[in-house]
Amino acid sequence: MRPLIPNAPGAPGPRLRSRAAGGGDCARRVKRWTRQLLGLDEGAVVSVAELRCSDPGCPDLETVIGVPNPGGSWRTLRVAKTVCRVRRTDIARLLG
């Protein structure tokens, strides 16, 4: 079982972030692929989190990728897999 840490204070929803062993390496890989697919610089901000969800219809664990837009909003991509199971093709499919 992976240890869970609650969302930041004031964050919405019943979601909890999960810390998986080796998840840091997987998250770095997902960030790198996202930057490459979007043509972003290596230093561009990309957020990757593995979330646990108890809402109906929501996968038990999902990976959420966030990329800031120039206007201040965030583009959010959701992959219904743990961060270590996300593949480059999953991200490319979401970016269409």
Residue 90: helix, strand or coil by DSSP? helix
- Contact predicate 65/47, CB 8 Å: yes
Average pLDDT over residues 74-82: 94
The beta strand positions in the chain, using DSSP E, are 4-6, 16-18, 47-52, 61-68, 74-79
Q: What pTM was computed for the model?
A: 0.74
Among 46-55, 73-82, 84-93, where is mean pLDDT lowest?
A: 46-55
pLDDT higher at 56 or 85:
85
Give the CA dihedral 12, 16, 19, 25, nearest 10 degrees: -50
Residue range 54-74, pLDDT digits in tens: 778 888 899 999 999 989 899
**62: closest CA among 32, 18, 11?**
18
pLDDT higher at 40 or 59:
40
CB neighbours (10 Å) of residue 23? 19
> What is the model's pLDDT at position 45?
95
Residue range 11-21, pLDDT digits in tens: 444 444 444 55
- Contact predicate 37/25, CB 8 Å: no
Is the model's pLDDT at 29 over the cut of 50?
yes
> What is the model's pLDDT at position 48?
97
> What is the model's pLDDT at position 22?
62
